Structure 1
Amino acid sequence: MQTAVVVEDIAETGTWLRQLLEEAFPGISVTVCREYQSAFVCLAEGGTELALVDISLPDGNGLDLIPVILQASPQAVVVVTTIMDDQEHILTALQAGASGYLLKDLPEEQFVRKLRGILLGDPPLSPKVARKVLQYFNGVGREAAVSKPVAESTPAPPDAEGLSSRETEVLVLIGKGLSRREVGALLHLSDNTIATHVRNVYRKLNISSRAEAALEACRLGLISTEL
């Protein structure tokens, strides 16, 4: 691997992903884009071998960039890097042409190993993601997909219930049981910033507890009770 593009709106997370790529592929040239539009322009020009794409961007849905990347660079490996681990997001990404789907809470050593596996032809999938793909093809959870075909499905919008893309990510992580400090560490944001996001989420959804946050995240289709 010689060239890569990272699409990630949080500067610290973008730097972190760049460092993981440089560890996995010494000497690789990495470009980081923080918005959908700038990424669209960069990726439409082609020339990248690997793209790490987040879903929740401030001005668009990262999954919409997948066909843009593959049209400009048909041999490119596109890996979705996100905290969204629900089956619908996963299947939509793979249907669009993504070669992999890595969750940001994957330990760094495993993350780097998954990236290196690309050179061996191994699809870079987080273990939880791989299980959900297998569940789908084994018939678990396919009933919903029958009534709503994967090709026509769309991820829950970042502004669901008036939430921003960042507030949506915070809701997902809080709903999964992570503490505010853990959420901050994962998103590379300060405790005060996370506290502000949590207050906004609670206010907009009219909730006041973690349990209610988990229920709302499930209701919005952002997380599930599946393994």
Structure 2
Amino acid sequence: MTTTLITGANKGLGHETARRLVAAGHTVYVGSRDAGRGRRAAERLGARPLVLDVTDDASVAAAVRAVEEDGGGLDVLVNNAGVEGDPAGAADVTADLFREIFETNVFGVVRVTHAFLPLLRRSKTPVVVNVSSALASKTLVGAPDTSMYAYPGVAYPASKAAVNMITVQFAKAFPEMRVNAVEPGFTATDLNGHRGTQTVERGAEIIVRMAQVRPDGPTGGYFDIHGFLPW
């Protein structure tokens, strides 16, 4: 049995990813900051609730203890929790805004991955999926013929670019793991006020696919549903 933890899984892409992986036979922990929402989501999905605030060291440590006491293992970690924040442009962005967005999108990924690393390293087939964005691609954001070029914000793309570098460095450090970054696409979720142009079912496809990557599959990569993305 594959045991999987998904952060921010009580709604949106995390919830749909959990649904799909439960259907695939995974034992899934639904990570959620709010205990009530997490419990209700887990009940709907046939999953296990796990109170987990990726911005809080004590919460993450307690989550590790809970998983250890429950069964002791973890095979797949999906770092899905994220925020967009204010898409302030270069003239208006502040260090405080960077700090707010990085706390969840970057420090949260490092905090959770570091804390669960001992459990992942016990697995025979450990996998880490970091939910990134096409806005992390300097190639795409810098190309006038792409939709990403028009995005004005600085902090959110920078946070996801940092996630991509974290992905590469962790993949190099732990060659026995499959560690990849994924771009779900512009999906209608709370993150973007449901302005997204595709469903969560479509958006979750690449997350689900990479959560089930085989031990001989890619690692240190950056993918959308169609394949490799340019850095």
Normalising by the smaller structure, the TM-score range is 0.3 to 0.5
Could you say which structure has the higher helix fraction? Answer: 1
